[in-house]
Copies of this chain bind each other. A is one copy, B any other.
Amino acid sequence: MSSSESQDPAAASEVQLSKKAAKKEAAKADKLRRRQEIAAASAATANLSVDEDDPLAANYGDVPLVELQSKTPANVDDWTPVEALGVALENKTVLIRGTAQTIRPVGKKMAFLVIRDDYFTVQCLVQAQPDTVSPQMVKFAASLNRESIVDVEGVVTIPTAPIKGATQQVEIQVRKLHCISRAMPTLPINLDDAARSEIEIEKAIQAGEQLVRVNQDTRLNFRVLDLRTPANQGIFSVQSHVSNAFRQFLLSEGFREIHTPKLIAGSSEGGASVFRLDYKGQPACLAQSPQLHKQMCICARFGRVFEIGPVFRAEDSYTHRHLCEFTGLDLEMEIKKHYFEVMDVVDRLFVAMFDSLNQHCKKDLEAIGSQYPFEPLKYLRNTLRLTYEEGIQMLKDVGVEIEPFGDLNTEAERKLGQLVLEKYGTEFYMLHRYPLAVRPFYTMPCYDNPAYSNSFDVFIRGEEIISGAQRVHVPELLEQRAAACGIDVKTISTYIDAFRYGAPLHGGFGVGLERVVMLFCGLNNIRKTSLFPRDPLRIAP
């Protein structure tokens, strides 16, 4: 591609036929220049597919590396996003950059390309025509590998019949076609296979057909390809939106964003599930949550804080909902008197978040739903609150016996979720006043019965996503509780000391970003909502 073209790529196609001679001359000069550049270009770009005897050779080919090394600044407005291609652009010449999703030659004189850009696709026709499109250019188009990145210049036309294989209802009559980056001929995952829903596969089986089903491990091994499916693009747009809704709500309520250290002396909150490492000769570990430091920020009179950051759990959990590294959304706040003040924030925050997702992520939720169908989350304007005792009574009433001072197992959580949905019409609710024995040492016991605690869990679609509580702010009680929970108080002495300088009443909660996305979208595996998941068996890519 010559630099003059790139400055105004639309201009070239408006050249009159009378200027044919001049054009040929320009092409010739361009060819010469290209030859010189090709010679200069590195081995990486040796596979240029241009027929040098073609007088129209300037209209297509692999772009030599030198042109891609910031040789000339671009006017980025020269490119039209595929999303913007519509009937209003009829007969206009446009330049688009995108991924060659499908390449379909029809004889030697014609090839169809479908170009993808974000969620949007457009059909492009490369058809041999005297003076504009040479048969060699058609051959070049047909030779492209799927998933290669191309610049396509052409005229927008409106086809008489609807286009089935693309989102945009216009077609581009290609005049120029340049490949920016070639994909390898055979990809480890076929995108069509990766994007297919289970329903389609089942239908095909019933029709006696066999379609490829890409399993989870293969997807994760070639995650860079897997992530290109519309469903995955949707999942990570939703993920980005969840963080942002979380943050914007909290900033608007006077919270400050903090960044606590992930490298911790000793053993964080204790327990076996901690990654240990050597820190300049000192034993250290990775924080299992920002718990201790976010509370120390409260002791430092930060008032209201939140953090979005990685948390590390060296657990041997092989479930659909556990990861060894995930993104924690954490919050800690002063309270005046009661842990309900924290639950009030959960309530308003999540209702606002769900509303925002439904309003602003329609396209993303559709993309997810078309591969992994799900029902929109049912939630109330004021989130239902049940005590743990009420919860286990509901279970008891249908014959499920729960140890009154134990915890709910996954099965019981699901069952309770069903019962709550039937009785209250919501898939999002809070359970509070948990038995103290099943909560961390820093949880404040109840005023009237120390077998219970000022704590809560929050559930979406029958699975726990949030754990929160009022915290113990009295250093003596904190020491006592830590010791009772088998924690060596010496290892957390700086944390406990933080409460000796005057400590506000406070509470907070933590929630896993990946779980929120998984459960809001009704997905069946947390690995689907982590970019590059880490579980006991996987630390790559």
Contacts A257-B244, A327-B259, A494-B541 given; indicate if A502 touches B44 (C-beta within 8 A): no
Q: Residue on B with the closest CB to A232?
A: B300
How close is A177's CB to chain B, nearest CB, in angstroms? Answer: 15
CA A454 to CA B65, docked complex, whole Å: 13
How close is A310's CB to chain B, nearest CB, in angstroms? Answer: 5
How close is A47's CB to chain B, nearest CB, in angstroms? Answer: 10
Complex contact B227–A256 (CB within 8 A): no
Which residues from 64 to 79 on chain A have a C-beta closer than 8 Å to any C-beta of chain B?
A: 65-74, 76, 78-79
How close is A116's CB to chain B, nearest CB, in angstroms? Answer: 8
Q: What does the 1/0 interface line of A231-268 toward B look like (CB < 8 Å)?
A: 01100110110011001000100001111111111000
Which B residues are in CB contact (< 8 Å) with A278? 275-276
Complex contact A76–B341 (CB within 8 A): yes
Which B residues are in CB contact (< 8 Å) with A284? 539
Complex contact B184–A501 (CB within 8 A): yes
A438 at the interface (CB under 8 A from B): no
Question: CB within 8 A of A310: which of B100, B262, B338?
Answer: B262
Which B residues are in CB contact (< 8 Å) with A243? 257
CA A275 to CA B277, docked complex, whole Å: 8
Which B residues are in CB contact (< 8 Å) with A293? 531-532
A99 at the interface (CB under 8 A from B): yes
How close is A223's CB to chain B, nearest CB, in angstroms? Answer: 7
Q: Size band of the A side of the interface?
A: 35 or more
CA A45 to CA B541, docked complex, whole Å: 53
Which B residues are in CB contact (< 8 Å) with A299? 224
Complex contact B99–A502 (CB within 8 A): yes
CA A513 to CA B257, docked complex, whole Å: 12
Which B residues are in CB contact (< 8 Å) with A233? 301-302
How close is A158's CB to chain B, nearest CB, in angstroms? Answer: 27
Complex contact B338–A73 (CB within 8 A): yes
Complex contact A501–B183 (CB within 8 A): yes
Complex contact A477–B513 (CB within 8 A): no
A534 at the interface (CB under 8 A from B): yes
Complex contact A447–B70 (CB within 8 A): yes
How close is A380's CB to chain B, nearest CB, in angstroms? Answer: 20
Which B residues are in CB contact (< 8 Å) with A244? 247, 251, 257
Complex contact A504–B180 (CB within 8 A): yes
A495 at the interface (CB under 8 A from B): yes
CA A280 to CA B444, docked complex, whole Å: 34
CA A503 to CA B179, docked complex, whole Å: 11
Contacts A44-B474, A263-B534, A502-B148 given; indicate if A447 touches B66 (C-beta within 8 A): yes
CA A66 to CA B277, docked complex, whole Å: 41
Q: Residue on B with the closest CB to A447?
A: B69
Complex contact A44–B258 (CB within 8 A): no
Which residues from 46 to 73 on chain A have a C-beta closer than 8 Å to any C-beta of chain B?
A: 65-73
Complex contact B477–A70 (CB within 8 A): no
Complex contact B447–A501 (CB within 8 A): no
Which residues from 410 to 456 on chain A have a C-beta closer than 8 Å to any C-beta of chain B?
A: 444-448, 454
Which B residues are in CB contact (< 8 Å) with A405? none
How close is A8's CB to chain B, nearest CB, in angstroms? Answer: 13
Complex contact A182–B257 (CB within 8 A): no
How close is A166's CB to chain B, nearest CB, in angstroms? Answer: 17
CA A225 to CA B146, docked complex, whole Å: 60
Q: Residue on B with the closest CB to A74?
A: B337
Q: Residue on B with the closest CB to A311?
A: B262
CA A470 to CA B65, docked complex, whole Å: 13
Complex contact B181–A259 (CB within 8 A): no
Which B residues are in CB contact (< 8 Å) with A536? 280
Complex contact B44–A476 (CB within 8 A): yes
Complex contact A227–B301 (CB within 8 A): yes
Which B residues are in CB contact (< 8 Å) with A447? 66-67, 69-71
A296 at the interface (CB under 8 A from B): yes
Which residues from 199 to 253 on chain A have a C-beta closer than 8 Å to any C-beta of chain B?
A: 223-225, 227-228, 232-233, 236-237, 239-240, 243-244, 247, 251
Complex contact A300–B224 (CB within 8 A): yes
Contacts A257-B240, A341-B76 given; indicate if A65 touches B541 (C-beta within 8 A): no
Complex contact B340–A541 (CB within 8 A): no
CA A335 to CA B78, docked complex, whole Å: 13
Which B residues are in CB contact (< 8 Å) with A339? 70
How close is A186's CB to chain B, nearest CB, in angstroms? Answer: 11
Question: CB within 8 A of A69: which of B297, B308, B445?
Answer: B445
Query: What 3 A-B pairs have minimum CB-CB distances, sorted nearest first?
Result: A74-B337, A227-B300, A494-B541
Sample of 7 A–B contacts (CB below 8 Å): A43-B476, A67-B447, A74-B335, A76-B336, A181-B502, A183-B500, A227-B297
Q: Other CB < 8 Å A-B pairs besides A65-B474, A187-B501, 14 of them? A: A44-B475, A69-B445, A71-B448, A99-B502, A148-B502, A149-B504, A181-B502, A183-B501, A224-B501, A236-B258, A243-B257, A260-B532, A277-B277, A495-B541
